């Protein structure tokens, strides 16, 4: 895959006009945009339509986590919006993920829609092993938990998972090379980690085998975002 199809920009802003200004500004440089909780909650599905009008693909990052019936209905709605990919929390369980995948596949076949890729969130990149143990009571360690949730997502028929760069090679080993991995928590050398804990540079993440990397603040908050993209693309090409 060329680097342009691997770099996803997180449109983590609340003003839809500003979001579209960014899409227009990045032009041919970026193909996939992530619409997350902030932008979707303030702008609604219209923003997805607008991004599609600009011939770009959308990763709808709403991290569905609810009872199976609610998640499958929201997932069908996401498929009807024509998004390229969306995600659910793997910790919602096997039945939730399986029924989501089945319902989406069925609707897409029936309505002749392109089936979106469905990803399971493993452990958020803002969580550490210590938080997992002390706050969430998960004692078997971060790597074991990520491996377990990835295996569950694979069993449910999902296309891949969202995980930090540090877990990519272990997941590929456990679930197979074709099981896709989206890696957030990416920080180029010039950027502090903010609230992310398990960070990696773009070059390292691609080297580890990440299929997609998601980047937000280190591009959007850069004084020259286009320059930042150029520097990142060079890093990715040399990985
Ligand atoms: O600004 P930054 O590059 O840290 O943005 C990362 C993006 O990826 C955010 O939109 C965040 O919601 C998302 N994300 C994440 N960790 C996950 C899944 C998604 O940071 N496990």
Question: For residue 6, what are the contacts with CB-CB under 8 A and spacing of at least 6?
Answer: 206, 210, 211, 212, 213, 236
| Å from CA of 214 to ligand 1 middle | 7
- Exactly one of 25, 34, 56, 63 is catalytic; which is it? 63
In the chain, what are the domains? Answer: 3-237 (3.20.20.70)
Are the C-beta atoms of 31 and 237 separated by less than 8 Å?
no
Whether residue 1 is predicted with pLDDT greater than 90 in this model: the reply is no
**Paired tokens of 48:** 């997805």
Residue position matching structure tokens 């975002």: 225
Please give the Cα distance from 149 to 122 (Å, whole number).
6
| Å from CA of 206 to ligand 1 middle | 17
CA distances to 19, 43, 112, 218 from 221, rounded to whole Å, are 13, 21, 40, 6
pLDDT tens, residue by residue, 117-152:
999 999 998 999 999 999 999 999 999 999 999 999
Lowest mean pLDDT among 1-5, 201-205, 217-221, 229-233: 1-5
pLDDT at 204: 95
* Confidence band of 164 (pLDDT split at 50, 70, 90): very high
* Confidence band of 193 (pLDDT split at 50, 70, 90): confident
């Amino acid at each position: 895959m060329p680097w342009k199809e691997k770099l996803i920009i997180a449109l983590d802003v609340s003003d839809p006009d500003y979001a579209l200004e960014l899409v227009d500004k990045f032009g041919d440089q970026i193909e996939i945009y992530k619409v997350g909780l902030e932008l979707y909650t303030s702008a609604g599905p219209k923003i997805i339509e607008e991004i599609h009008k600009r011939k770009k693909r959308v990763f709808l990052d709403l991290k569905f986590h609810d009872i199976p019936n609610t998640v499958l209905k929201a997932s069908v709605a996401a498929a009807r919006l024509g998004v390229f990919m969306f995600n659910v929390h793997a910790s919602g369980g096997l039945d939730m993920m399986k029924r989501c995948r089945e319902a989406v596949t069925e609707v897409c076949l029936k309505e002749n829609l392109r089936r979106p890729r469905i990803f399971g969130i493993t452990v958020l990149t803002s969580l550490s092993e210590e938080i997992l143990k002390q706050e969430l009571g998960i004692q078997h360690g971060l790597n074991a938990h990520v491996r377990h949730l990835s295996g569950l997502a694979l069993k449910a028929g999902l296309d891949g998972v969202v995980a930090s760069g540090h877990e990519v090679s272990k997941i590929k080993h456990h679930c197979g090379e074709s099981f896709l991995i989206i890696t957030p928590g990416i920080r180029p050398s010039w950027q502090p980690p903010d609230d992310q804990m398990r960070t990696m540079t773009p070059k390292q993440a691609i080297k580890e085998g990440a299929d997609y990397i998601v980047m937000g603040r280190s591009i959007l908050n850069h004084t020259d975002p286009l320059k930042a993209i150029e520097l990142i693309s060079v890093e990715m090409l040399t990985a």
